[in-house]
Amino acid sequence: MPTTELLLWNNHKFTDSYKKRIREKIKETFNVKLCTKESEAKNEQEARRMIAEIIPQLRNMTRDDEILIDYNCYFGSIRNALGGSMIAMVILVVLFFINLKYTVISTLLLVISFGLYLLCFIFAKPLLKHFGYEYARKLYNVFMQTKLQQ
């Protein structure tokens, strides 16, 4: 998950100082101390679990930000397109085998359709990764701008 990846010390998409500020605010807000660089290096899986446990609380806290909602919608639409193209390719393969026995649709049309869905699948995967990271960046940005409730 990009939200987890961005906070890992061995990920360089955020500076260490920004990660430190995020971690300090998480400690202030939720009273949760995330792993240090040293403890993360010893047990990265535990560090990932700790970060993953705090993400739902961050999402809940930033839920009302309209721009963050837009980022989440972009990410969701690409994810749905990826899932839909996989289902469509399976259906087209089934139709292809049915079409071998009972010619109903042009085989060329089935092959072209399969190729187009394959292209959608191929392009959706890098887009999904990109929008996932953009959403995660925006989530942390919005979190850092929120005021702590007294």
Domain boundaries along the sequence of the chain: 1-61, 64-150
Predicted local confidence at residue 150, as pLDDT: 42
Distance, in Å, from the CA atom of 35 to the CA atom of 108, rounded to the nearest integer, reads 56
Cut 0.85: pTM above it: no
Neighbour-count burial of 13, counting CB atoms closer than 10 A to its CB (0-12 exposed, 13-18 middle, 19+ buried): middle
Predicted local confidence at residue 148, as pLDDT: 63
Helices vs. strands in the chain: H and E counts, helices first:
6, 0
Mean pLDDT of 25-35: 88
The answer to whether the CB of 34 falls within 8 A of the CB of 50 is yes
Q: What percent of the chain has pLDDT over 70?
A: 98
pLDDT in tens, 79-103: 888 888 788 888 888 888 888 888 7
